[in-house]
Amino acid sequence: MTILIRADAEGISRAAEMLRAGKLVAFGTETVYGLGGLATSDAAVARIFAAKGRPRFNPLISHFPDADSAFAQVRTNDLAHKLAEVFWPGPLTMILPRGPGATVSDLAAAGLDTLAIRVPRGDVPRQLLREVGAPVAGPSANRSGAISPSDAFHVLRSLEGRIDAILDSGPCAVGVESTVLDLSSDVPVLLRPGGTTLEQLTDVCGRVYQPDDRTEALPVSPGRLLSHYAPELPLRLDAHEVGPDEALLAFGPALPGGGLVWNLSETGNTEEAAARLYAGLRFLDAEGQRRGLKGLAAMPISRTGLGLAILDRLRRAAGPHPTSRPTP
């Protein structure tokens, strides 16, 4: 059974106690809800993979209340410290070589010699992480291949009965996952665009290398599989017109003719659009199927600010569906 816990002081302590006992507790961050489990416990991490139904072991991000506890797990460098000062707490995940003092389980790191560390923004997750007092692994709290959850209800619908509790802190402010930046080599590599924008990163890092997973032979990060975040209905990108049997994901003034429309942001604001993205995909997918529509059409979105992360998720949502779809 999955219980819903209100994120007041008592609820946070209860959730922390459950996590310390090896249970799975989903919790809200500024980006999306994470499926939390003790990152130091192989058993808890194995339960995370099972609950998500991940087809194969994909390394998990470990969450910390502050930079000191995060950096205790890895070999740091000057750039990592600089980035932490500017962006933590906040939607940036750093990949760094595992350090001699690391306590994160090998299973959480999927056997890699690097670790993904993150200090989320928000009073609730930070208090929770302080009370747990150990790294908390947290992939997005959805079944593998499905759309990420931006509120507690989405988590419940996707994982009810598969996890022990959900700490409900309301909807997530940013709405797309953290930016994943690999700092384990000389040049920082953008593995996943996300809540910290490329413009913000280049201001601090100078150059950021952006691999292109359409031309790169192997996904650099296991989570870069082309199909991900997928709705059931096929998604068409860069739509300049909308068909009678399509639902419209609009950005800016909506195209004429769409019967079923979700506008990400009428004013074309990418921050508002990111916060409304997953709820919109989920709504158009469910309502579109109910109305017998054949697909979703997404209008063009600017590549600036959070637009890059939105486009990345939409491109994956439009990618080839995996052969074995998780059963909902």
List interacting residues with ligand TXA (CB under 6 A).
29, 31-32, 34, 58-61, 91, 93, 95, 109, 112, 114-116, 118, 120, 138-140, 177-178, 180, 191-192, 221-223
Q: Which position's Cβ is nearest ligand TXA?
A: 223
Q: Which is nearer to ligand TXA, 67 or 299 (CB)?
A: 67
Nearer to Mg ion, 16 or 26 (CB): 26
- As a whole number of angstroms, the distance between CA 154 and CA 160 comes to 10
Strands 114-118 and 25-28: unpaired
In terms of CB distance, is 11 or 120 closer to ligand TXA? 120
The residue among 31 and 140 lying less far from Mg ion, judged by its C-beta, is 140
Residue 178 interacting entry, from ligand TXA, Mg ion, none, C-beta within 5 to 8 Å by type: ligand TXA
Number of chain residues interacting with Mg ion (CB under 5 A): 1
Distance, CA of 214 to CA of 225 (rounded, Å): 10
Beta pairing class for 189-192 and 179-182: antiparallel
Residue 197 near Mg ion by CB under 5 A: no
Candidate segments 20-28, 39-47, 133-141, 296-304, binder of Mg ion by CB under 5 A: 133-141
Q: What's the CA angle centered on 277, arms 136 and 169, to 5 degrees?
A: 40
**CA pair distance 125, 173, nearest whole angstrom:** 13
Rg (the chain; Cα; Å): 19
Q: Which of Mg ion, ligand TXA, none sits in contact with 34, Cβ below 5 to 8 A by type?
A: ligand TXA
Answer for the pair 4, 152: CB distance below 8 angstroms, yes or no.
yes
CB of 239 to Mg ion, least distance (A): 25
- For residue 303, count other CB atoms closer than 10 A to its CB: 12
Considering beta carbons, is residue 89 or 138 the nearer one to ligand TXA? 138
- Closer to ligand TXA at the Cβ: 60 or 247? 60
- Residue 221 interacts with Mg ion (CB under 5 A): yes or no: no
Contact present, 284 and 296 (Cβ < 8 Å): yes
The whole-angstrom separation of Cα 80 and Cα 183 is 7
Q: Does position 150 bind Mg ion by CB under 5 A?
A: no
Identify whether the C-beta of residue 5 lies closer than 8 Å to the C-beta of residue 14.
Answer: yes
Quick check: 158 binds Mg ion (CB under 5 A)? no
C-beta closer to ligand TXA: residue 113 or 240: 113
- Which range in 6-14, 60-68, 132-140, 191-199 contacts Mg ion by CB under 5 A? 132-140
* Least CB distance to ligand TXA at residue 59 (A): 3
Q: Report what 28 binds from ligand TXA, Mg ion, none; CB cut-off 5-8 Å by kind.
A: none
Q: How far is the CB of 249 from ligand TXA (least distance, A)?
A: 21
Q: Which of 31, 40, 73, 140 binds Mg ion (CB under 5 A)?
A: 140
CA atoms within 13 A on the CB side of 162: 22
Nearest residue (beta carbon) to Mg ion: 140
Largest CA-CA distance found in the chain, in angstroms, rounded: 60
| Closer residue to ligand TXA in complex, CB, 247/314 | 314
Cα–Cα distance for residue pair 10/85, rounded to 1 Å: 31
Instruction: Identify which of 74, 78, 111 has the alpha carbon closest to the alpha carbon of residue 95.
Output: 74
Give residue 133's region: left, alpha or beta (phi > 0; psi -120 to 50): left
Q: Which stretch binds Mg ion (CB under 5 A): 85-93, 99-107, 112-120, 137-145?
A: 137-145
Residues sharing a CB contact under 8 Å with residue 101, sequence separation 6 or more, in sequence order: 72, 73
List contacts with Mg ion (CB under 5 A). Answer: 140
